[in-house]
Amino acid sequence: MKTAVILFSRNDGYKEDDRVVTCINSMVETFDEVWYIDWNSPEDKGSLLWKLEDRITKQGKIKHIVIPPNIASQLTLADASVVNGQIPPNLVFRRTDADWIVNTTIDIIAPKREIFEAFLAKADKNTFYTLSRRDIEIEDVAKFGFDKWQEYRDILDQTTKERKLYAQVTPNDRYSIINCCGDFQLASKHVWNTIKGYEENMYYACYPDTNIQKKAVLNGFNLEAIYDVPLYHMSHLGMGNDGSSPSKQKYNDPWKWVEYFTKSENTENWGLNGVEIEYETI
């Protein structure tokens, strides 16, 4: 049984270096493959992973994809800076040979490998799972020491209560059992292949977690939330670089992706024109 996790970000100063290093090192411990996608970073900065490479655990597990602005603009239907942030993982869903694939963020301390694999041993390959994060304060991680995340996780596993949340986006929404960044969007490769990942016509704050769950249901798969696999979300400010939340975005109505979405608009191109991007192994 092979597992993969997908992480992506931009080198724009929003993600604290220590948090990213902690997240990636924990993912290397837990997963067989760690796909890190640097999406649309400013050309004068390059990939965030290049900046942090000396602090990253190297076991040949990290697959590093760099999509600079000139390529990002060719792959998407609009300005790459406002395209749905979940489009880049589509590059990985269709090319990895992992049996189970997780999509999440770089704010997470992953579950211990043995706990995660024990869950997968009993998991249903026709169910789309959402593994719920547990929130922790990044200041507390900093005090303990970002390089001591394994010891800190041991303590958290014994003390942190599970988070039980049903995040209903709209009154008619049956799908967003969880809708928080950092949750594990987890499914077998069979499920991801069938639903063809995230929608190419979504922009910025269009509830991609809810959308992907609804896509799973419409394709005949089960939907389940899991609370007893401990993963930890290191807190941060709002979605804007200045700490503000994004305004109602002007490109389309984010609510429609919950109540009016009926079938996938993705083609065999998975929303990225069928382009494959080379990767380096770290």
Structural contact between residues 11 and 42, judged by C-beta atoms closer than 8 angstroms: yes
pLDDT in tens, 216-239: 998 999 999 898 899 999 987 544
Decide which of 139 and 237 is more confident.
Answer: 139
Over range 93-113, report the average pLDDT. Answer: 94
The pTM for the full model equals 0.90
31: left (phi > 0), else alpha (psi -120 to 50), else beta?
A: beta
Report which of residues 238 and 20 the model is more confident about. Answer: 20
Q: Give me the pLDDT at residue 238, please.
A: 45
Helix axis angle for 113-122 and 17-30, nearest 10°, is 50
Cα distances from 279 to residues 46, 64, 103, 196, 208, in angstroms, run: 15, 5, 18, 21, 25
Predicted confidence at residue 88, as pLDDT, reads 84
Lowest mean pLDDT among 51-65, 75-89, 227-241, 243-257: 243-257
What's the token pair of residue 259? 């109540």
- Return the higher-pLDDT residue of 96 and 265: 96
Q: Is the pLDDT of residue 114 over 90?
A: yes
Average of per-residue pLDDT across 233-256:
57
> Pairing mode, if any, of strands 127-131 and 184-188?
antiparallel
CB 202 within 8 A of CB 208: yes
Residue listed under structure tokens 């929608």: 199
